[in-house]
C-alpha cells in the first residue's frame, strides 16, 4: 500500500516525503524508498502523528500534503487538483479532499458553512444524529502551508470521545486566523477507500487488478480471461503478447513483444524476450532471463538462469543457476543439481547441445557446444565439444523372477 502511494506522490514532484510510523516498524521503513522517517512514539491521534513530522519540515515553506498511508489508490490527478483548490483565494487557505458516500462509513463528516467553505469536521464517533446524516465525508487528505501547519498543530486539543489529537481540528483552528478551507470533491469513490481489515485489502486489490489489466490490454496485450490473471504493479507487458487464463505475475517481470504465456504459469523476477512461449504450468523464478523464441513447457522450473535464443525445455525439468546456449534441447526430467547443502553452483551448457531425458547435471559443470548427453546419465565433469557423454550401469536381467515372486506372494496370501 505504501509503495503505491509513494509512487503517486513522487510522480507529482514532491520536494520532500516524510513517512510517520510507530516505533519498531522496520518493515515499513524498508519500504520507504529512502524517504525521511518520523516516529510517533504513542498512538495519540492523527494530529499527534503530523506533529511528529514537523522537525523534518524545518526550513520548508511550501505546500504540505497530509495523506493517509492506508489509502493507496489516490491518483496524481486528484492530488494535483487538491493543491490547486488550496490556492483558489488567500495564500494561507487550505484544502481538504471530500467524497459523497451513501450509505456513509465511519468517516468524519464535512460540515459546510453558508458560503460553501468548510466550517468544521466532526469525527463519526462525535457526530450528532443530524451530523451523521451528512453524506459529504472527509477522506483524510489535506493541503496546507508549512507555516500554517507549524502554527496550528500546537493548538489541537484532545477534548473528544477518543481523547486523541485530531488533525481534523485544523480547519476550525485555521479559521480563527482568517483562513478558509476549500473542499475538493472527488467522484471516484474507489480511490478514497482505506484499508482497516483483510476484507478491505481484498476489495482494493481487486480494484487495482482491474486497473492493471485494463492498462495491459490498452497497451496491446491480449488477456484471454482477464479476471483470472493476477498482475503486479510493476509488470511490463509488450505489444501482441498473449496471456492465457490463471497466470500469476510477481514482482519485476518484463515481457517483450509477441510473448505467449500459457495457462497456470507463475512468473517472478523474470525477463522474457520476444517470441518466447512459456507454459502451461511453468514457473519462472527470480533471475530468469529467457531469450528470443525459447520454449518452456509444462512443469518446467527456471531460477537464476539465462536461456539463449531457441532453447527448448518442453516438460518436467529444473534449470537453476545455469546458462544454456542457443539452440540447445533440454529434455524431460533433466535437472541441474545446483545445491550441495551449503552453496549454489553453476551449470554452463553450450550451443546446440542435446540434454537427454532424466539427466542429472552435477554443478559446477560445463557442457561444450554440440555435445550429446545420453538419457539417464549423471554428469559431474566437463564434456568436450561434440562429444557423447553416457553413464549407465550394465543391466542385470533375471529371467522368470517376476513370475516366481508373484507365485510366492500368492501362497503367502492363502
Strands (E) in 283-364, as ranges, are: 283-284, 288-290, 295-307, 312-324, 329-330, 335-337, 347-349, 354-355, 360-362
Task: Tell me which H or E stretch contains 216.
Answer: helix 198-218
Which residue in 35, 257, 315, 345 is the catalytic one? Answer: 315
Could you confirm whether 315 is annotated as catalytic? Answer: yes
C-alpha cell at 282: 511453468
Residue 272: which residues within 8 A CB-CB, separation 6 or more? 253, 254, 255, 256, 259, 261, 278, 284, 288, 290, 294
Closest CA to 330 of 297, 366, 284: 297
CA distance 289 to 267: 11
Cα radius of gyration rounded to whole Å, the chain: 31
**Average pLDDT for consecutive 10-residue bins of the chain (414 residues)?**
92 96 91 93 95 96 95 96 91 92 89 90 89 94 96 93 90 93 94 93 95 97 98 96 98 98 98 98 98 98 98 98 98 97 97 98 98 97 98 92 93 80
Q: What does the domain layout of the chain look like in residue ranges?
A: 2-185, 220-389
* pTM of the predicted model as reported, rounded to 2 decimal places: 0.85
Buried b (16+ CB within 10 A) or exposed e, 164-188: bbbbbbbbbbbbeeebbbbbbebee
Residues in the chain: 414
Number of Cα atoms under 13 Å in the Cβ half of residue 350 = 16
Q: Are 34 and 45 in contact (CB under 8 A)?
A: no
pLDDT of res. 412: 84
Helical packing angle, 76-86 and 2-11, nearest 10°: 60
| CATH code reported for the domain at 2-185 | 3.90.550.10
pLDDT of res. 393: 86
Q: What class does CATH assign to 220-389?
A: mainly beta
CA distance 187 to 206: 19
**Strand, helix or coil for residue 147:** helix
pLDDT of res. 104: 85
Q: Are 361 and 367 in contact (CB under 8 A)?
A: yes
* 309 DSSP 8-state letter: T
pLDDT of res. 170: 95
Amino acid at each position: 500500500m505504501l509503495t503505491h502511494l509513494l509512487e503517486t506522490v513522487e510522480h507529482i514532484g514532491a520536494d520532500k516525503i516524510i513517512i510517520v510510523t510507530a516505533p519498531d516498524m522496520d518493515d515499513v521503513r524498508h519500504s520507504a524508498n529512502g524517504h525521511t522517517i518520523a516516529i510517533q512514539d504513542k498512538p495519540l491521534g492523527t494530529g499527534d502523528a503530523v506533529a511528529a513530522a514537523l522537525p523534518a519540515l524545518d526550513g520548508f515553506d511550501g505546500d504540505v500534503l497530509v495523506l493517509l498511508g492506508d489509502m493507496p489508490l489516490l491518483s496524481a490527478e486528484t492530488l494535483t487538483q487538491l493543491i490547486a483548490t488550496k490556492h483558489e483565494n488567500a495564500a494561507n487557505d487550505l484544502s481538504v479532499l471530500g467524497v459523497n458516500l451513501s450509505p456513509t462509513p465511519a468517516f468524519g463528516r464535512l460540515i459546510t458553512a453558508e458560503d460553501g467553505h468548510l466550517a468544521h469536521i466532526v469525527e463519526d464517533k462525535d457526530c450528532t444524529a443530524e451530523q451523521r446524516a451528512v453524506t459529504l465525508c472527509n477522506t483524510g487528505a489535506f493541503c496546507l502551508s508549512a507555516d500554517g501547519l507549524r502554527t496550528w498543530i500546537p493548538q489541537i486539543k484532545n477534548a473528544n470521545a477518543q481523547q486523541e489529537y485530531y488533525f481534523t481540528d485544523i480547519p476550525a483552528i485555521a479559521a480563527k486566523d482568517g483562513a478558509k478551507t476549500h473542499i475538493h470533491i472527488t467522484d471516484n469513490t474507489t480511490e478514497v477507500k482505506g484499508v482497516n481489515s483483510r476484507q478491505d485489502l481484498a476489495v482494493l486489490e481487486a480494484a487495482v487488478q482491474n486497473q492493471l489489466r485494463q492498462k495491459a490490454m490498452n497497451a496491446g496485450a491480449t488477456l484471454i480471461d482477464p479476471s483470472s490473471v493476477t498482475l503486479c504493479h510493476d509488470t511490463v507487458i509488450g505489444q501482441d503478447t498473449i496471456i492465457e487464463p490463471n497466470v500469476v505475475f510477481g514482482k519485476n517481470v518484463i515481457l517483450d513483444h509477441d510473448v505467449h504465456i500459457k495457462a497456470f504459469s507463475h512468473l517472478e523476477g523474470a525477463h522474457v524476450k520476444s517470441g518466447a512461449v512459456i507454459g502451461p504450468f511453468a514457473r519462472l523464478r527470480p533471475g530468469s532471463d529467457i531469450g528470443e523464441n525459447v520454449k518452456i513447457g509444462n512443469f518446467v522450473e527456471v531460477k537464476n538462469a539465462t536461456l539463449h535464443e531457441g532453447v527448448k525445455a518442453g516438460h518436467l525439468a529444473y534449470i537453476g543457476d545455469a546458462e544454456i546456449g542457443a539452440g540447445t534441447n533440454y529434455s524431460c526430467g533433466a535437472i541441474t543439481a545446483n545445491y550441495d547443502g551449503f552453496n549454489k553452483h553453476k551449470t554452463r551448457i553450450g550451443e546446440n547441445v542435446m540434454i537427454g531425458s532424466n539427466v542429472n547435471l552435477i554443478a559446477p559443470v560445463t557442457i561444450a557446444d554440440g555435445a550429446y548427453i545420453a538419457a539417464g546419465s549423471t554428469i559431474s565433469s566437463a564434456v568436450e565439444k561434440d562429444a557423447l557423454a553416457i553413464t549407465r550401469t550394465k543391466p542385470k536381467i533375471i529371467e522368470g523372477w517376476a513370475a516366481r515372486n508373484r507365485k510366492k506372494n500368492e501362497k503367502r496370501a492363502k
